[in-house]
């Protein structure tokens, strides 16, 4: 069984700014993209889902296998234990640690051989740079490592914050292939994107559109570009 995280009417204020204004969404089960321009509130939404940020109004529920957490218990380590992996925006790799050591930090001890073999089966390139330090990895390699790191505890829901940002088209293709093989393992994907959906369309079923802290679309990913109001708010055309 998968993990589900639901937000209902979530409001977040940072300083004087209302960053989220009544966000409701459901993650898990289906593969989902959250799309919105820079500053729309994507990362903030993920931070609420993960328990890194408390809304001043609204509710969050996370459940997995009959275990149900309500807002008071939504804390990052508890959400992770429920089976949620997180790939933060900007990758956040330790530059002075090797790829393997980066994985071990997330795992909490040395990585069992079967976990490493499973990661190699999903991300074959990882083998090539497993002993290289973070600072010597290319952008694409860092992103592959960031994905691997989020997988070490074998999550059922993988949340990725703009994993394709700033990557060359060839590398985007590689990462998309990696994400497809992760889906085939039964892991649900929740991904954010700030531009066109062309790159993620084959990965996801459902799209949420966000603009200035408001959800402006929810439905099949094919429908979002046909929704004139949503399109204008998300892409400005
Ligand atoms: N720590 C913070 N301090 C001040 N303002 C913040 C902070 N975090 C977010 N904001 C503001 O909240 C709004 C939403 O930010 P958020 O990072 O969620 O957007 P985003 O959709 O992830 O954007 P991007 O595509 O650039 O990553 C922005 O206007 C941003 O400036
Ligand atoms: Mg962001």
Q: What is the pLDDT of residues 164-190, one digit of tens each?
A: 999 999 999 999 999 999 999 999 999
34 lines ligand 1 (CB under 6 A): no
- Residues 33, 178, 140, CA angle at the centre, nearest 5°? 90
Whether the predicted pLDDT of 163 surpasses 80? yes
The mean pLDDT value for 65-90 works out to 89
Q: What is the pLDDT of residues 198-224, one digit of tens each?
A: 999 999 999 999 999 999 999 999 999
Domain assignments of the chain as residue spans, ordered by start:
3-93+156-235
**For ligand 1, atom 25: residue with the closest CA:** 38
What's the CA-to-centroid distance between 35 and ligand 2, angstroms?
10
Identify the helix (H) or strand (E) that includes residue 84. strand 84-87
What's the CA-to-centroid distance between 36 and ligand 1, angstroms?
12
**For ligand 1, atom 5: residue with the closest CA:** 14
Whether the predicted pLDDT of 138 surpasses 70? yes
Closest ligand, as measured to the CA of 47: 1
Question: Could you give the 3-state DSSP secondary structure of residue 218?
Answer: strand
Question: Could you tell me the pTM of the whole model?
Answer: 0.96
Q: How many CB atoms lie within 10 A of CB 142?
A: 22
Q: Ligand 1 atom closest to Cα of 45?
A: 18
Which residues, including other chains, have CB under 8 Å from residue 118's CB and lie 6 or more apart?
Answer: 154
- Taking all residues of the chain, what is their mean pLDDT, rounded to a whole number? 95
Closest ligand, as measured to the CA of 213: 1
Closest ligand, as measured to the CA of 13: 1
**For ligand 1, atom 9: residue with the closest CA:** 44
What's the CA-to-centroid distance between 154 and ligand 1, angstroms?
29
How many CA atoms are closer than 13 Å to the CA of 133, on its beta-carbon side? 5
For residue 1, the model assigns a pLDDT of 66
For residue 222, the model assigns a pLDDT of 93
| CATH architecture classification, 3-93+156-235 | 3-Layer(aba) Sandwich (3.40)
Structure token pair of residue 35: 């799309």
């Amino acid at each position: 069984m998968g993990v589900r995280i639901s937000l209902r009417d979530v409001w977040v204020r940072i300083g004087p700014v209302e960053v989220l204004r009544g966000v409701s969404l459901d993650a898990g089960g289906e593969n989902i993209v959250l799309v919105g321009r820079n500053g729309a509130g994507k990362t903030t939404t993920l931070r609420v889902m993960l328990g890194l940020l408390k809304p001043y109004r609204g509710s969050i529920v996370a459940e997995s296998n009959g275990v149900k957490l309500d807002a008071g218990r939504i804390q990052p380590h508890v959400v992770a234990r429920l089976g949620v992996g997180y790939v933060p925006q900007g990758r956040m790799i330790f530059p002075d640690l090797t790829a393997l050591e980066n994985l071990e930090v997330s795992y909490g001890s040395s990585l069992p051989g079967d976990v490493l073999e499973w990661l190699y089966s999903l991300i074959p390139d990882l083998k090539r740079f497993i002993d290289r330090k973070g600072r010597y990895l290319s952008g694409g390699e860092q992103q592959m490592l960031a994905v691997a790191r989020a997988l070490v505890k074998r999550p059922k829901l993988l949340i990725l914050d703009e994993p394709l940002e700033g990557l060359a088209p060839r590398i985007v293709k590689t990462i998309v292939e990696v994400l497809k093989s992760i889906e085939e393992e039964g892991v649900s994907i929740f991904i954010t994107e700030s531009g066109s959906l062309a790159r993620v369309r084959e990965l996801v079923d459902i799209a949420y559109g966000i603009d200035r802290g408001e959800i402006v679309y929810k439905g099949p990913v094919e429908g979002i570009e046909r929704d004139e109001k949503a399109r204008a708010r998300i892409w400005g055309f």
